[in-house]
Structure 1
Amino acid sequence: MIKEKEKLMASETYTLDVEKIKSKEVKLHFLYYSVIFALFVLIVLVYICLIPGFSIESKNNLRTLIPKSFKDIINLQNKEKVRILYDSLISYKNEHELVLLLLLSLLYILYQSFPIFLWWMAGTGCVITILIGAFYNYIFSILYCSILATLAPFITYVIFKYYGRTVINYFFQKQLIKFNRELNKRVRNNVDLFVYVTILRLTPVFPNVVINLVGACVQLPAVPFFLATYIGILPNTIILVSVGQAINSISSVNMTNQFYMSITFIVLLLLFQTVINYKCKDMRIQTR
């Protein structure tokens, strides 16, 4: 009886020790993740300080976008504010084309790579893709944004593989186990994984930021994951770039052909996504 009590106490002590170690590891990894985030923000701020400035008129317009409260931060994607930003960036782009492209790219990677801190900026990736589509050549925008949309998940994958994974596993262990179980049912090899991730990217069921996190946390193989990411994100990228082109063509004098071509692309791709979504639902029903 005494031995059993001693064994029970020993097991409880061991469990507590394991929990303490896990808690310390989570805190340490979260600290590392925070430091990486702070460094990336610093890089973006330094770049902004070094790039050529806006015109006086653009500066005055942009000052109206500076948030004065938390409510202003949440409403940064307000239509009027986006329009002010768009007009200011258009005038800046005419003078500093490459500088603006690099700035938008850095902001896109920052948002995609650190969703734990930037969760309140949902949709920022879409807005940046639309802006690039509005500012630059159509084909170039599609190619560039699709590469950018694959590079950002790669950075997320690397960061979370080494530091963020423990944090996510600690808070969402049950959900990750459930997802992993479902994944193992459907995925037997890298080809299956490629198809599965591509379908996840194509359908609007899971946000891309969530897929980026889960991919790193359940340690999916890198090559099929990123190939599937590139192909799966491509239709969405084309839609968003087409939206940007449509906005730009409305602003310009010669709008007819380019505008209707962009709208046609958007409609066709949305129909394609709808078909894929229904096919996925049928597959789920059949597997059940």
Structure 2
Amino acid sequence: MAREDRFPAWEAALLAGVAAVFAAGLVGVYISMPHSDYSFLKLPRNLQDLKVLTDHLEDYTSDYTVQVLVGYCAVYIFMQTFMIPGTIFMSLLAGALFGQLGGLALVVFAATAGASSCYFLSKLVGKPLVFSLWPDKLMFFQKQVAKRREKLLNYMLFLRVTPTLPNTFINFASPIVDVPYHIFFLATAIGLIPAAYVTVRLPFSEPQAGIALSDLRSLNDLYDPQSIALLFLIGIVSVTPTLLSKNETQAKASDVAASTN
């Protein structure tokens, strides 16, 4: 794969245009919300911000559920599309506001939509940026995708479930290394479920079920060794068909070679 470090002016203009469209949509969501004191509305950058936001939104969500859902999805998809850090806090917020099942469904939907948006944006203008930010990871990813083309869905599921490669990188690099969208979509929608469940598994309104939001001191409280081990176990199970297929191919090749000698 030849390096492409240049970022043409038309691609920069297109990227800015897409960002402007998203920004206009967010402003529209904000304006459409019922009048109130919105000084608390800001992207949570730490657990303290998240707690403040949750405290203000809990009562608001029960009265204006649709507005909160639309606003939440718009913000999450915007962050995913433009690789803005902090979606982990948005996932925690979903669990805090909508509980386990509702939060899980919301996070998986928003994350899949945001990842898809990032995929198509990268397909249009992402190649120079990917080469600039992750040249080594990109070469590694391309080689792995080429080797596992026949069982690509299993490999992509493995990447989504485990922290082997950052999700941000996967979203942006997949179209560059020719991962078909249907494979990307299925791996994202299915593969994000375990990690999303780890994040929103606690119904924060019921502290007896586990760690309440007010008890969290750092994100490490969420990703304990057992949770990480479980994610890797799921990832290994997902990639097992690929490994078995590879062994079967090698065995057949050995049998053919033996029979010709």
Shorter-chain TM band = 0.7 to 0.9
Unmatched segments (≥5 aa) in structure 2:
212-221, 248-261
Q: Secondary structure at the match of 1:238?
A: helix
- For residues 180 and 124 of structure 2, the distance between their equivalents in structure 1, rounded to whole angstroms, comes to 15
Cα distance, 1:173–1:210 mapped onto 2, change above 3 Å? closer
Aligned to 1:30: 12
Higher helix share: 1
Cα pair 2:29 2:70 within 8 Å, conserved: no
CA deviations on 1:135-154 (whole Å, 9 max, x unpaired) are 12532332232222212111
Aligned to 1:230: 189
Which of 102, 118, 126 is equivalent to 1:156? 118
Aligned to 1:188: 149
Which of 78, 82, 92 is equivalent to 2:50? 82
Cα distance, 1:156–1:50 mapped onto 2, change above 3 Å? same
Q: Post-superposition shift, 1:30?
A: 2.0
- For residues 113 and 227 of structure 1, the distance between their equivalents in structure 2, rounded to whole angstroms, comes to 18
Aligned to 1:215: 174
Q: Post-superposition shift, 1:224?
A: 1.5
CA deviations on 1:80-134 (whole Å, 9 max, x unpaired) are 222111111112112211111111111100000012xx3xxx2x22211221122
Using the size of structure 1 for normalisation, the TM-score is 0.68
Output the aligned Cα RMSD.
Answer: 3.2
Q: Post-superposition shift, 1:172?
A: 4.6
Cα distance, 1:155–1:50 mapped onto 2, change above 3 Å? same
- For residues 185 and 194 of structure 2, the distance between their equivalents in structure 1, rounded to whole angstroms, comes to 15
Q: How does 1:1-150 map to 2 (within 5 A)?
A: 23=6, 26-54=8-36, 56=37, 59=38, 62=40, 76-115=44-83, 118=84, 122=85, 124-150=86-112
Cα distance, 1:29–1:167 mapped onto 2, change above 3 Å? farther
Q: Count the aligned residue pairs.
A: 228
Which of 161, 165, 171 is equivalent to 1:206? 165
The aligned amino acid for 1:241 is: V
CA deviations on 1:186-226 (whole Å, 9 max, x unpaired) are x132xx11011100111112221111011122121111221
In the alignment, structure 1 residue 239 sits paired with structure 2 residue 198: yes
- The percentage of aligned residue pairs carrying the same residue is 21
The one of the two structures with greater contact order (alpha-carbon pairs below 8 A, sep at least 6) is 2
Unmatched segments (≥5 aa) in structure 1:
1-18, 66-72, 251-255
- For residues 79 and 138 of structure 1, the distance between their equivalents in structure 2, rounded to whole angstroms, comes to 19
194-203 or 147-156, larger mean C-alpha shift:
147-156
Aligned to 2:230: 272
Q: Secondary structure at the match of 1:80?
A: helix
- For residues 48 and 199 of structure 1, the distance between their equivalents in structure 2, rounded to whole angstroms, comes to 37
- For residues 103 and 50 of structure 1, the distance between their equivalents in structure 2, rounded to whole angstroms, comes to 10
Cα pair 1:198 1:229 within 8 Å, conserved: yes
- For residues 106 and 164 of structure 1, the distance between their equivalents in structure 2, rounded to whole angstroms, comes to 22
Cα distance, 1:236–1:175 mapped onto 2, change above 3 Å? closer
42-51 or 131-140, larger mean C-alpha shift:
131-140
Larger radius of gyration: 1
Cα pair 1:161 1:219 within 8 Å, conserved: no
